[in-house]
Structure formats: C-alpha cells, structure tokens
Structure 1
Amino acid sequence: MHGKKRAEYKAQAQNPKIAAALEGKAEQWYTLMKELQHRRDNSNNATTTETMDENFNESTSAATTTLMMTLKLLEKALLVNPDPLNLWNHRREVLLTMMSNDDNDDPSETTKIHNDKYDKILETERGLTQAALQRNPKSYGTWFHRKWILQTIKPVVVEAILKEELALTTLFLSLDERNFHCWNYRRFVVACMAGNWNGDWDVPIHKNATTTETTTMTSTNKLMGPQVLPSKGTGWDSSTILPETLTHTIPQALLRSEFEFTANKIKDNFSNFSAFHYRSQLLDFVVLSDDDDYDDQEDSLLQEFQLIEDAICTEPDDQTAWWYHAILLDKLDGKLSPSVKMKVAEQADLFRELLEDSPDGGKWISLGLLRVLTLLDSKTGDDSILEQQALLRRLMTIDPDRMGRYQTMINQIEKKVE
C-alpha cells in the first residue's frame, strides 16, 4: 500500500495476535469464496437443466430467494475486496437472471412496477459501487460495473441520475484529482447525457455557413469510457455522415461546461496532467471551433495563453503546462492572427526572463522558447535562427541524454538557411 514500508508489514506479521487475526480473516474469505463458487456452479447447471425442462416457466420463490442471498454474499465479499473481477462477473450473471425472470413475468404487470424493479436494482448497484470505490478508488472492476449498470438499465435512466453521476465525479475528483478511472467515467457520463450509451462522442464541427462535417470521437479503450479522439478507422469517411443521422451529438453547451471544469481543476493544481489532457482534446471543439466569432476565438486563445503562463510562472520546471503549450502552438501553426502573434512574441520575452533566472537548468523553458521562435521563425529573421541554435546547444549541455536529437535539429536549421 502507498506510504507503507515493507518492514512495517513484516513486523506486524511477527506479532502473534495480529497474525492470528489475519489467519482468521483469510479463513473466512476462503469459506465465502468457496460458497460463492458453489452457488455459481449450481446456477450454471440449473440453467442447463431448465433450458430442457418443459416446466421452466414455473418460477419459484425459492429460486428468487437463492438469487437474493447470492447477491448479499457477493456484496459482502466486494465490500471487503472490490478487485476480483470474477466476483463482479458473477454479480452481473445474477442480475441478468433476475431481469430475465422479470421479462418473463405476467404481461399484465404494469410498466410502472417493472420500472420500479429496475430503479431499485440501479439504486442498489450504484450504492454498492460507491462504497467499493471508497474502499479502492482505482478498482477496475468497480468502475466497469458502474458503467455496465447504467448501460443495461438505460431505458429507465432519467436525466437527473446522469446529472448526479456527473456531480459525483466532480466530488470524487476533488478528493483524488488524478484518478484516470474517474476522468474516463466522467467522459462516459457526458456521452450518455447526449444519448450515446456506448460512450462514443459525436461532435458537429461547422466548417462554414453551408456545410457541416461531423467527427465521430470514439474510445481508444472503451472499457473505462471514451478518450476524446477523432476516429481514424480504415475506410471511414466523415463526408458520408449526414448531420441529420446523428441524433445524439454532444451539445456545445455541455462541451463548454466540461472545458470550464478542466480550467477549475487546473487552477486548483497546475500539475494536474489529467485535466490538461482532457482540455487539449476539447480545444478544437471549444476554442478553435470554426463556428465561433473571430473576436470570441481570439479572446479564448488569449485566455489559454494566460492560463499557461500562470502555470509556467508558478512552476517553470513542471512539464505538464509545457506539454499543453506545445499542443496549443501546434494547433496554431499557420493560423496566427496579428493579436495572437503579438501575444506569442510577448511569451518569448517572458521565457527569456525565466531562462535568465535558471542559469544551470531550464530544460523546459528552453524547449518552450524554441517552439515559440520556430512558430515565429518566418517573421523574425537571422537573429531568431542564431537564438534557436544557441538554445539547442544549451539543451545539449543540460540534457545530454538527447544530445543526438538536438544536434539533428541544429543540422536541420543550418540546412534551412543555406
């Protein structure tokens, strides 16, 4: 466990009382696992038999009682240790069996009663996963189960529940701001709020007043929720997607709300890489979107540069803000307006000042200044070329592990000016 030394555990194991208590817990756990495996085996056998049984439709209260007891035992085990994936798999099997039995009930049963059953299941599973996450905030199985239960009972999930889920991720990230499971789950909830229960993000990008192109943003790992990346599947052509066929696009207001959320998390901690990462994926759809007014876009860009400068001046040696700065400059290449170009030039002066205060280091400052000078290269002349070469030679000294890379960059500059 984090923050604990191995010697402390060894010392505890040598204490007879503690060792006896641990042995007792291990025995209880073994007994519980054996009982659950026995129930799972019997359930599988019963399913095989009942499939061939003419009286399969004659449900019994005993079967329901058995399922409920199995759920209670699984809950007991998962609250102790939420990590074993086989326990979550077993629980989903039981839940699916119960929901299947509900579907086979008397058709005259009202829809309200049916929905109430599903609502109760949803409430129970949300409560269980929340308690399990308090036990282990990075339990893969727990996060997946919470996502699964929303996907499974989506017909009766109301908007209020999804808003609660989004609020819970906000609370959770205030306690554990870098938990990537929670960040991914938050993106999944945002997709669900737009009706995309598989976690995909469909975002309309307005290229001009007459045409609309839609980029499908899909998950690189759908297990935990979507990463906000354009789909690049073989043969995929965004021009073949008609806007009217995409009924579940992420609303622009929701995108802006998420963008503002990342700003708040970054201001809380400028080293929050997860927030910077999420923000970098939203840049094209909020700050650099072509459907924004020209003046609004410029104001947004200037605010981004100010956010970066605040982070850099607070901790110049933290690479997180420099990484985001590099992404923003890459997206602006060839798109510099006069006011933005002036801001970038001002940043060069700021970075020079920071570099003067770091006579023996300044790797990230040097790289940042180099990127700015490269972006402004066509307008700054020979003095910029000489400064770029000087920065690269400085980097060869303070970062010798990448000396070959820096020398290659120097050679490229020399070829360019020949």
Structure 2
Amino acid sequence: MHGRLKVKTTEEQKAEKHREQQKKLVAYRMGMKKIALSRSSDSYDPESFAISAQLLCVNPDIYTLWNYRKEVALLQRNSQNDSESEEFINFLNREVDLTEQCLLSNPKSYGSWYHRYWILMIHPQPNWEKEFNLCTKYITYDDRNFHCWDYRRLLVNKIGITLPVELKFSTDRLNNNFSNYSSWHYRSTLRKLDENCIEEELNLVQSAVFTDPADSSAWFYLRWVLSHPILSIQKRQELLEAFEELQELEPDCKWILLAKCWLTGSLVLSDKEYIDRRIQFYSELTKLDKLRKGQYEDYLKLAEKKMKT
C-alpha cells in the first residue's frame, strides 16, 4: 500500500546477503592472487602490500598475509644501509599500528598478536612499556583473552616487572573474576610452588572453589597445587574434611567428589585405609556424572585391584 515501507522477505534478505558475500569473495580472491604473484620477486609491490593490509583489517586470521608482510619487513631491513634508519623504523611502526587495528576488530587473533611481537623483536627501538600497558588494557576489557595473557608473559622480563608486582596483578584479576582459566594458568607460570608459597596458593584457590563450587577453572588449578608432593599429609587430610563439609552444602557438585578422589589418591600412599573411601567417591561419581561413567569405572577397577594387593 502507498506510504508504507516495503519490508524485504526472508528469501530476499538471503539473496541480497549472498550477493554481498559473492562480491567480497571475488575481491578477496583477486587480492590474494595479486599478492601471490608479487611474492616471487626480490622486491615488494606497494599496491599488493596495501591490499594485504585491507584484507587483514577485515579478517586478521589469514596467516599467509602475515607471513607475506614478514617477508616484506625482512626485504626492507636488508635493503637498508642502516637497520636503525628512520625510514625502517617508520615502516615497523606502521606494522605495529596495523596489528592494533586488527586487534580492535578481533582481540583474540593469533596472527595479530604474533606479528606484533615479531615486528617488535626486529624493531631497533621497541617500546616494551607501551606493550605492557596495552596488555593490561586488553585484559581489563576481557580477562579471558588468553592470547593477551601469553603476550604479557613474554613481556614481563622485557621491562623487568618484579614477581611480587605481577603476582598482585594476577591476584587482583582473580579476585575480580575467579571463573577464568587464562588467569589461573598465567599464575601457574609465574613461579614454582615451594614451601614458602604453597599455602598462599592453596588459600587463594580454596577460597575460589568455596565461593563457586560449580565453576571448573579453579578446580583445575587446585588439582595442579595438589599434584605437588610438598603439600603435607596433614594439610591434605584437612582439605578432605573441608570438602566433606562443602559437599553437604553442594551434594550435586561433581568437582567436590573429584577433589576428594585426588586427595585420597595421594593419601593412599601413606594409609591404605583411604582406598575404601576412594572407591566410595568414584562409585558416587558414576551416578552423579553419568557421561563419564566408563572412566570412573576404570578408576574403580584400579582402586579395587590395589585394595587386594
């Protein structure tokens, strides 16, 4: 009817979307073909280089294009009489700027983070302090960005950040959000567990699992802490009792039962009486976590076999 805005049908929308995709695909193929032809020469084609930047801004996960830009960077360095020339430094700075544009569209792009670090490693005047601040900013935006955590780990030694400072940052991020595999993993890379720090790590992760027993990330970190032989038998027994109390509050939480299995697995080495409790916990798991019933039954067989020996 007159005066009414025509609304496109679902089929029309699909057809229009398909046409747009086809246009982009044609442009992408033409761009990639031109870049492939230019890679065979000893010098680079500025037009192809510009096209690669445009394509990466749309999709920063095309590794071929990042590799192409690395080749050009090396050509530029080899063509300079002075590898610290202003021209070469400006070229590298533009590469760093490009990766930042790509990270804005996809903060979890493997290729962008790796290319950024690679460029800075050949940069005569890398600004590691700026990179470290960038990491902090991105982690604040999304503390589950494990690419950024890995990048931060590479930078810590570059700018001389002390262990206490970085541990505090890690603790602050975990207190902000316990449910974070990346933060827990990063913390495990900062230092080796010993008698001076294991109590601190245990208190932190124990607080996390008691706050949210259903979240799996802290439980995996707890398992890593429990795997260290430095943890005393007495402490393991205390933890087992604590988890018994927690299970009364959260009877349907499989992670509590699993933690009790991990603890009894080490306690069995010093006291065979814990085998019975271990069998009990795995039997309960076969009912609570039926998806992994076969796995728990295998563990039960091993525990029963150990009980007979």
Question: What range describes the TM-score normalised by the shorter chain of this pair?
Answer: 0.7 to 0.9
8 Å Cα contact 1:302/1:343 also seen in 2: no
The aligned runs of 1:335-350 (5 Å cut-off) are: 335-337=230-232, 341-350=233-242
The aligned residue for residue 16 of structure 2 is 19
Task: State TM-score, norm by structure 1.
Answer: 0.61
Partners of 1:370 and 1:178 lie apart in 2 by 29
Q: Does 1:141 align with 2:75?
A: no
Go from structure 1 to structure 2 and tell me whether the alpha carbon gap of 1:139 and 1:410 turns closer, same or farther (over 3 Å shift). Answer: closer
The aligned residue for residue 206 of structure 2 is 309
Deviation at 1:391, TM superposition (A): 1.9
Moved more, 36-45 or 177-186: 36-45
> Which 5+ residue runs of structure 2 have no aligned equivalent?
1-7
Higher relative contact order (CA 8 A, sep 6+): 2
8 Å Cα contact 1:125/1:149 also seen in 2: yes
The residue type equivalent to 1:97 in the other structure is L
Partners of 2:176 and 2:203 lie apart in 1 by 15
Go from structure 1 to structure 2 and tell me whether the alpha carbon gap of 1:309 and 1:37 turns closer, same or farther (over 3 Å shift). Answer: same
Deviation at 1:365, TM superposition (A): 0.5
The aligned residue for residue 286 of structure 2 is 396
**What root-mean-square deviation, in Å, do the aligned CA atoms of Structure 1 and Structure 2 show?**
3.5
8 Å Cα contact 2:150/2:186 also seen in 1: no
Deviation at 1:127, TM superposition (A): 1.1
Go from structure 1 to structure 2 and tell me whether the alpha carbon gap of 1:356 and 1:88 turns closer, same or farther (over 3 Å shift). Answer: same
Deviation at 1:79, TM superposition (A): 2.1
State, as a whole percentage, how many aligned pairs show the same letter.
30
Deviation at 1:351, TM superposition (A): 0.8
Go from structure 1 to structure 2 and tell me whether the alpha carbon gap of 1:114 and 1:394 turns closer, same or farther (over 3 Å shift). Answer: closer
The aligned residue for residue 261 of structure 2 is 370
The aligned residue for residue 125 of structure 2 is 157
Go from structure 1 to structure 2 and tell me whether the alpha carbon gap of 1:119 and 1:40 turns closer, same or farther (over 3 Å shift). Answer: same
The aligned residue for residue 4 of structure 2 is none
2:139 to 169, 173, 176: 173
1:99 to 77, 91, 108: 77
The residue type equivalent to 2:210 in the other structure is C
Deviation at 1:314, TM superposition (A): 1.6
**Which structure is higher in helix share?**
2
CA deviation vs aligned residue, 1:69-100 (integer Å, no higher than 9, x gap): 54434333322332333332333333333322
The aligned residue for residue 100 of structure 2 is 130
Deviation at 1:312, TM superposition (A): 0.7
Partners of 2:258 and 2:248 lie apart in 1 by 14
Moved more, 86-95 or 322-331: 86-95
The aligned residue for residue 322 of structure 1 is 219
8 Å Cα contact 2:31/2:52 also seen in 1: no
Partners of 2:248 and 2:171 lie apart in 1 by 29
Partners of 2:223 and 2:287 lie apart in 1 by 22
> Which 5+ residue runs of structure 1 have no aligned equivalent?
1-9, 49-62, 104-110, 195-250, 289-296
1:44 to 32, 40, 43: 40
The residue type equivalent to 1:92 in the other structure is K
Deviation at 1:321, TM superposition (A): 1.4
Moved more, 406-415 or 141-150: 406-415
The aligned runs of 1:221-236 (5 Å cut-off) are: none
8 Å Cα contact 1:12/1:19 also seen in 2: no
Go from structure 1 to structure 2 and tell me whether the alpha carbon gap of 1:376 and 1:14 turns closer, same or farther (over 3 Å shift). Answer: same
The residue type equivalent to 2:53 in the other structure is E
Q: Does 1:75 align with 2:41?
A: no
Helix, strand or coil: the match of 1:15? Answer: helix
The aligned residue for residue 116 of structure 1 is 86
Go from structure 1 to structure 2 and tell me whether the alpha carbon gap of 1:409 and 1:92 turns closer, same or farther (over 3 Å shift). Answer: closer
The aligned runs of 1:218-367 (5 Å cut-off) are: 254-284=162-192, 287-288=193-194, 297-298=195-196, 300-332=197-229, 335-337=230-232, 341-359=233-251, 361-367=252-258
Go from structure 1 to structure 2 and tell me whether the alpha carbon gap of 1:169 and 1:37 turns closer, same or farther (over 3 Å shift). Answer: same
Go from structure 1 to structure 2 and tell me whether the alpha carbon gap of 1:187 and 1:11 turns closer, same or farther (over 3 Å shift). Answer: farther
Partners of 2:258 and 2:66 lie apart in 1 by 47
Go from structure 1 to structure 2 and tell me whether the alpha carbon gap of 1:390 and 1:301 turns closer, same or farther (over 3 Å shift). Answer: same
Partners of 1:172 and 1:137 lie apart in 2 by 8
Partners of 2:299 and 2:24 lie apart in 1 by 63
Task: State TM-score, norm by structure 2.
Answer: 0.80
1:34 to 18, 30, 34: 30
8 Å Cα contact 1:162/1:189 also seen in 2: yes
Partners of 1:26 and 1:406 lie apart in 2 by 51
For these two proteins, the number of residue pairs brought into alignment is: 301
